[in-house]
Amino acid sequence: MALAERTGVSLRASNSFGVEARAARLIEVEDAGDLAALAERLRDGPAPLVLGGGSNILFTRDPPMPVVRIAVPGRRLLADDAGSVLVEAGAGEPWHDFVQWTLAQELVGLENLSLIPGTVGAGPIQNIGAYGVEMRERFDSLDAVSLRDGTRRRFDAAECGFGYRDSVFRHDEGRGWAIVAVRLRLAREAPLHLDYGEIREELRAQGIARPSAHDVARAVCAIRRRKLPDPNVLGNAGSFFRNPIVDAAVADALAAREPGLPRFPVSPSDAGAAARASAENARPAVKLSAGWLIERCGWKGHREGDAGVHERHALVLVNHGAASGAQIAALAARIAESVRDRFGIVLEPEPTIV
């Protein structure tokens, strides 16, 4: 039995915003086999909160429910045929360490997703993505245990309902599952994705003409270290808002009065969100830059006490030290309100708000 329960535990070191919140009960699970018994034990109380590395969550209060931290370890090669390689990782594995391990196995596919904080198990929740690649594109299947009734189930990609920073697990029909293992399909050889952000410039600056997956991973890490605040130094959860997906006609009207409005075509992986944005008539949809909208409202570098907006990234909210989660959430609400008032666009938070 690898199940440890503690009471009255501070979560400050367990969330990348570094805000204080106390868990009345914190249960750490290393063996997925223990989850069925745990579900039975928790059945009569409030639905538990599943926690990974805490890098995409904002505690605005002490969580009123038990907190279950999934710490299931392990990573292995499951199949290796015709250049396609199936790998599996326990949900508790740190994501970046897992990416490094796949690179050490000479596997291609996750290099653009290097250095994303958090655990493997949280990856599918918002279909993590960076530098032109999303988890959805490498995904094979996952195993999850229902914390409602202890049943274990395998989900394939279609059942996960991936969209832009979205999956079924963020919606009512998919809640209550603890992901315990994730399987991804990688390759021995595959085209590298170099056309996003500054990857090519970075490789050029390093004098690399024919990059390997290792080189791309190193370039992505260098860019990320330069651009994004380190949560160990400045509390944050990466992008605080999702880029809004709107009807193309809405984007056109906005662009007519806001010169320079960045607009991006919606990729097939965004279909879920795009369909929701375009509603029943399914007109073309467009992705806008939440960071641009926020910056235009004058928030970049803004600070209220210890809650603030990063000076170089209008999309990243930060804790300068002693901000509470409620103060950060209040600032986020004011930012969203100003964007709605000026542009008529509704911003949705990316992190889970508790």
Ligand X SMILES: Cc1cc2nc3c(=O)[nH]c(=O)nc-3n(C[C@H](O)[C@H](O)[C@H](O)COP(=O)(O)OP(=O)(O)OC[C@H]3O[C@@H](n4cnc5c(N)ncnc54)[C@H](O)[C@@H]3O)c2cc1C
Strand-strand pairing, 57-58 and 352-353: parallel
Part of the chain binding ligand X (CB under 6 A), chosen from 27-35, 40-48, 103-111, 174-182: 174-182
239 noted as active-site residue: yes
Part of the chain binding ligand X (CB under 6 A), chosen from 53-61, 97-105, 259-267, 298-306: 53-61
3-class DSSP state of 141 = strand
Angle between helices 213-227 and 95-104 (to 10 degrees): 150
DSSP 8-state symbol, 244: P
138, 165, 183, 218: which one is catalytic?
Answer: 165
The CA-to-CA distance between both ends of the chain, in Å, stands at 29
- In the list 123, 291, 308, 349, the residue contacting ligand X (rule: CB under 6 A) is 123
Nearest to 89 by CA among 133, 121, 118: 121
173 noted as active-site residue: no
Contact status: 121 vs ligand X (CB under 6 A): yes
Contact status: 58 vs ligand X (CB under 6 A): no
The least distance separating ligand X from the CB of residue 303, rounded to whole angstroms, comes to 19
| Interface size with ligand X, residues (CB under 6 A) | 33
The least distance separating ligand X from the CB of residue 336, rounded to whole angstroms, comes to 18
Q: Hey, what are 288's tokens?
A: 């806008």
Contact status: 16 vs ligand X (CB under 6 A): yes
342 noted as active-site residue: no
Exposed e or buried b for every residue in 248-268, given b needs 16+ CB within 10 A?
bebbeebeeeeeebebeebee
239, 269, 278, 324: which one is catalytic?
Answer: 239
Nearest to 48 by CA among 24, 15, 72: 24
In whole angstroms, what separates CA 108 from the centre of its chain? Answer: 21
- In the list 21, 57, 67, 85, the residue contacting ligand X (rule: CB under 6 A) is 57
Binding residues for ligand X, per CB under 6 A? 16, 49-57, 70, 91, 116-119, 121-123, 125-126, 128-130, 177-179, 228, 231, 236-238, 352
Report, as residue numbers or ranges, the catalytic residues: 165, 239, 350
